[in-house]
Amino acid sequence: MDLRVANKFRIGKRIGYGSFGEIYSGVNMMTNEEVAIKLEGVDCKHPQLLYESKLYKILQGGVGVPYVHYYGIEGDFNVMVMDLLGPSLEDLFNICHRKLSLKTVLMLADQMITRLEYVHAKNFVHRDIKPDNFLIGMGKRQTTVHVIDFGLAKRYRDPKTHQHIPYREHKSLTGTARYASINTHLGIEQSRRDDLEALGYVLVYFLRGQLPWQALRAATKRQKYEKILEKKMATPIESLCRGFPAEFTAYLHYTRALRFDDKPDYAYIRKLFRELFIREGYSYDYQFDWVMIGFDADRHHKNRIGATSGRSDRRLPSRGRERERTSKAEEPKPGHTGTGITPRPTDVDDMKRETSRSGIRAHREHRDHRPRRTGFGDKGFQF
């Protein structure tokens, strides 16, 4: 049986799952373009896809932001059809034996800072910065890092007046504990500075292979988060970045010194890493570590689809199979699905405000306004 969405997209093999439901490969029957199709039961406790589709629509047109081709309701499911992307940086980190070279980390840092600057310019903070939420593209977009998974994103300022949200305390830990900023652990409302501090921990993780607060054990999640916070606060930045160029220490000192409503100087932190890149004599040739060992995202996807060809996925999941998000922060778990979309909790209060279903029964299809360039800074760094 041919399963279709909006009579335009053919559903293929299941390629992964998230806490909301499942992800399938698909094909646009008019253009033959491969897509990813995310399904979520209409009666799930904390719906996410409508909220995510709204954010992607706000962010559309940005380099490294996947395009949403369609959102609507099909039978018992909320459905979002979006660009099919390659593996996540966590997947690629594992492929590279859990350590990345300085050159690769600096090329990634440049793109990741730019992605966050764009999201922030659109008045949102991501609030779940981690390697799983940055994916490379497919085909000509393999050199472009994409930012995904906006289920926890929150508007931090009014889009018209630019009035910043108020400073608040006693907030639940939202995001992923391993990479969360110290202020997030302390229950302070997140703002732009927290996305950037979390990115700093991601970069150190790539270079060092692990963070000092990984693998801490505790009887409860709350106690584990407290231990992670204690270790973060007890680890001086100089110790965390020991053996690395001084720019990593400077980056983390800068992000931790930002005030709640400060606008980060993105040009300054980009320049920190760009000058280091040039001083090291590197060339911005997109020769990431995984490229050097022969990894190709398109071939990886074909192999993954081929591996499932022995069983049929020609039916949609039952509504009871969705995994509900039950907590607001978690440590990444081993056994990544390879889709770049992994189980992760939701900020329930934000979702309730943003995901009213009134008037969404009609199918929604977005026009494609993506920039036609295929990579980030095709000529390398631009000063």
Distance, in Å, from the CA atom of 26 to the CA atom of 154, rounded to the nearest integer, reads 30
128 as an active site residue: the answer is: yes
Q: Provide the b/e sequence for 286-296 (b: ≥16 CB within 10 Å).
A: eebbbbeeebe
Helix (H), strand (E) counts: the chain: 12, 11
Query: Length of the chain, please?
Result: 383
Distance, in Å, from the CA atom of 335 to the CA atom of 347, rounded to the nearest integer, reads 24
Residues in CB range of 231: below 8 A, 6 or more apart: 212, 213, 216
**Token pair in block for residue 166:** 């108020």
Closest-CA residue to 364 (of 46, 80, 115): 80
Does 171 carry a binding-site annotation? no
Amino acid occupying residue 281: G
Contact 26, 11 (CB under 8 A): yes
Distance, in Å, from the CA atom of 12 to the CA atom of 3, rounded to the nearest integer, reads 8
Distance, in Å, from the CA atom of 90 to the CA atom of 175, rounded to the nearest integer, reads 16
Active site residue: 83, 91, 128, 132, which one?
A: 128
Which residues are designated catalytic? Answer: 128
Residues making up the binding site for ATP: 38
